[in-house]
């Protein structure tokens, strides 16, 4: 078989992988704190054949999304680097989604029910408390009294956390953010640009059309070659 067929099949496969990622990004365009996934392509030398080959690796776009004011006193958005820390059945996890709520026992938790961690463990408020305030340093106040401070951590540049689903990340080497900046009554929007993602999807669709035309042209050429010399 002509090696060009394999090249076209590989290109189509990468296009399919990109399309799946773009579709997932678009589905989370309105998810607070969502970080878009992207594919990175690189050319490496195949040790078996000695020929260059293209490989793809998935990575997370760490750029911050814009802020949206909600007015909800339990909502919080990190300005700059850092992640909120939550406690899950699988251990410590990290998120940029600050859409918090108060459980019946006063525990501050995520929408999925994971306790939000403070400097002294899970943050617990008086269920009857009023005037809840989160100051720019992440300190949580209720009825004029300081309750705890939101734990905000960051990761070394070479060891970023990895997605585990539901807006959560896992990682090692987290260190406290010195002087975090937290905005109360706001949420960080997804960093997905719907227009950009749709443009990329259109480009991939056009690429598919080009691959199909090339395959058809190659098939026609092969058929004509096979017909040469036949009676």
- Could you state, in order of their start, the residue ranges of all structural domains in the chain? 3-62+192-227, 67-188
How many angstroms separate the CA atoms of 32 and 183, rounded? Answer: 14
Taking all residues of the chain, what is their mean pLDDT, rounded to a whole number?
86
Q: Which is it for the CA torsion 114, 137, 70, 61, positive or negative?
A: negative
How many angstroms separate the CA atoms of 167 and 170, rounded? Answer: 10
Read off the pLDDT of residues 52-78 as tens digits, 9 standing for 90 and up: 666 778 889 989 999 999 999 999 999
pLDDT at 3: 56
- Percent helix, strand and coil across the chain, each rounded to 5? 25, 35, 40
CB neighbour class for 101 (10 Å; exposed up to 12, middle 13-18, buried from 19): middle
Read off the pLDDT of residues 69-114 as tens digits, 9 standing for 90 and up: 999 999 999 999 999 999 999 999 999 999 999 999 999 999 999 9
Kindly list the distances between the CA atom of residue 202 and the CA atoms of 7, 142, 205, 207, 210, in Å, as whole numbers in the listed order. 21, 50, 5, 9, 12
How many angstroms separate the CA atoms of 108 and 100, rounded? Answer: 7
- Mapping DSSP to helix (H, G, I), strand (E, B) and coil, where does residue 39 land? strand
pLDDT at 4: 53
Q: What are phi and psi of 59, to 5 degrees?
A: -145, 165
Is the pLDDT score of 126 beyond 60? yes
How many angstroms separate the CA atoms of 224 and 202, rounded? Answer: 33
Kindly list the distances between the CA atom of residue 182 and the CA atoms of 20, 21, 100, in Å, as whole numbers in the listed order. 34, 30, 13
């Amino acid at each position: 078989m002509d090696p060009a067929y394999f090249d076209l099949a590989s290109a189509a496969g990468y296009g399919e992988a990109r399309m799946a990622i773009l579709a997932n990004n678009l589905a989370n365009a309105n998810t607070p704190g969502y970080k878009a996934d992207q594919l990175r392509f690189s050319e490496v030398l195949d040790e078996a054949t000695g020929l260059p080959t293209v490989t793809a690796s998935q990575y997370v776009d760490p750029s911050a999304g814009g802020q949206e004011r909600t007015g909800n006193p339990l909502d919080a958005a990190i300005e700059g680097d850092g992640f909120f820390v939550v406690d899950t059945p699988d251990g410590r996890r990290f998120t940029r989604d600050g859409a918090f709520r108060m459980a019946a026992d006063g525990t501050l938790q995520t929408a999925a029910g994971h306790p939000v961690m403070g400097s002294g463990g899970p943050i617990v408020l008086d269920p009857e408390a009023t005037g809840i305030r989160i100051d720019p340093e992440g300190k949580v106040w209720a009825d004029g009294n300081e309750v705890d401070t939101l734990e905000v951590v960051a990761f070394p540049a070479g060891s970023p956390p990895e997605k585990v689903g539901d807006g959560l990340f896992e990682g090692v080497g987290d260190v406290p953010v010195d002087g975090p900046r937290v905005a109360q009554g706001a949420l960080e929007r997804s960093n997905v640009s719907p227009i950009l993602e749709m443009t990329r999807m259109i480009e991939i669709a056009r690429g598919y059309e080009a691959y199909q035309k090339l395959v058809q042209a190659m098939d026609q050429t092969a058929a004509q070659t096979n017909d040469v010399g036949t009676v």
